[in-house]
Amino acid sequence: MNDAPVDIGIRNNFDNPVSPIEGVTLPVLGIVAFLDLNWSEKWTSTVGYSYLDIDNSNGQSADAFRKGQYALANILYHPLPNLFFGPEIQYGQRNNYLDGFSSDNLRLQFSVKWNFDKTIGGF
């Protein structure tokens, strides 16, 4: 739900000349599921999915965020206690409110993480 850009929108209320627009909350549906797998002492994986859907108000712009989702999977090798690396595949999709825009993104990345275990200046 951190992917949502706004949680307040404008609703048109043109029948009321005193308050022609109103601020309204935007209901959000968020679904997140992730699983960490430990295949062995040296091999791990993460698979996950996230979905976000906003009920847009009628006063929002046509290019306002409407729906997004992403998924990922990786396999990581841990040759040392403070080092791991491996490939990850990621998929993301965004849909706008009214302008018909939709975008898909698929990528493969390779990550390396080294945990340093040093204290500097007593902190």
State the Cα–Cα distance between residues 73 and 89, nearest whole angstrom: 6
Question: Which residues lie closer than 8 Å to 63 by C-beta, 6 or more apart?
Answer: 96, 97, 99, 101
**Mean pLDDT (whole number) for 105-118:** 92
Alpha-carbon distance of 108 to 120, in angstroms, equals 36
What is the total residue count of the chain? 123
Mean pLDDT of 73-82: 96
Please identify which residue in the block is written with the tokens 């898909």: 104
How many contiguous H segments (helices) and E segments (strands) does the chain have?
Answer: 0, 7
Residue 71's pLDDT is 97
Q: Domain spans of the chain? A: 8-14+28-114
Asked if pLDDT for residue 1 goes beyond 60, the answer is: no
Are the C-beta atoms of residues 40 and 76 closer than 8 Å to each other? no
pLDDT digits (tens, 9 = 90+) for 17-68: 998 999 999 999 999 999 999 999 999 999 999 999 999 999 999 999 999 9
